[in-house]
Chains A and B, each alone.
Chain A
Amino acid sequence: MNISFDDLHKAFENRVRLGIMSALAVNDSLNFTSLREFLEVTDGNLATHIKKLEQEGFVEVEKSFIDNKPNTSYTMTSEGKKAFNQHLKVLESIIKSQK
């Protein structure tokens, strides 16, 4: 199999974005606060990276109100799932090929 580093998606180069995708991969949906607590990053930092993933079409945003307070929750799109799984596969084969 011919694997090159170019197969690694640019969107996943950043650790925060990789963390967001990992958390969303195992949760149906997560709100902003939960994500921030899991990742231990600042509001602004998290917002920037989510925006980027949203633009790629990997993450979907749903805004709603709970007890009159705005609540933003995030889910992974099927496209995001595909890209993330592909990324994992490439990571795996890179490590295997270098052993």
Chain B
Amino acid sequence: MYVKDRLRRSMMFVPGNNPGMVADAHIYGADSLMFDLEDSVAHNQKDAARLLVYNALRTLDFGKKETVVRINDLRSGLGVEDLEAVVRAGVQVVRLPKTDSAEDIQECEEHIARIEAAAGIPVGTTGMMAAVESATGVLHAPEIALASKRLIGIALGAEDYVTDLKTTRSDGIELLFARSMILNAARAAGIAALDTVFSNINDEEGFLAEATLIKKLGFDGKSVINPRQIGPLHRVFMPSEKDLAKARAVMEAIAEANARGSGVASLKGKMIDRPVVIRAQRLLALYEAGKITDGMEDE
């Protein structure tokens, strides 16, 4: 069963045809594990990967990590077979690649519901996320994000997208519109916004700059392709001591005002608005969730 709202700072891609990497996926502390049947698996390995991921999901204990499988897109002729395997294996979230429209999501959902029913799994158990990887998809992001109750999030797949835009990846300016669009679509639908991968694993500085940027924009997290990216990413998302202290002070002022029976709280002579309280609450919740998750890395 999927959880709609949870910590998703890092979603680690794991090639579905690599037994060693699949078996070890949970030890690096990523919030979500994304077993890939799509681009990281060669065409002649597709069935082997599907079988491996199916068995891994059924037999291995991934602890409290969220399990996600990126299936092949339905038009490829492989996607439905992927769904047959992973839905039956009890994956928490199916990631649909190359989503261009709400209809793509609905078509995928129909297959999932049919397979759940056939397998005796309560219909609605399997979550979904949409990956948008084209100009069409970005422009349809608001409808896509609202296309199914099963959706936990919407993600940007940048490599295909920049090709579609007739550009390449650079300092991030090329993704500004897509990121903003997806983020707003996600927020309007009340689901998570997840950023694309950063491919050069040896460029830690570049990775940190990108992670900092997407956190500022408002993203919940980002896909990673190597365990080495998880620690730095989580550090970017963890609130600083200064922000924590501020948030705690806000919450204390609110508690104090409540104790006085006053509806108006103030801090250092400034009235505390409702958005300030919400931000403080979110920041503290993120810190607590992150602290617990990162502390359990050895579980």
- Is B one of A's binding partners? no
- Interfacial residues, chain B to chain A (CB-CB below 8 A): none
- Interfacial residues, chain A to chain B (CB-CB below 8 A): none
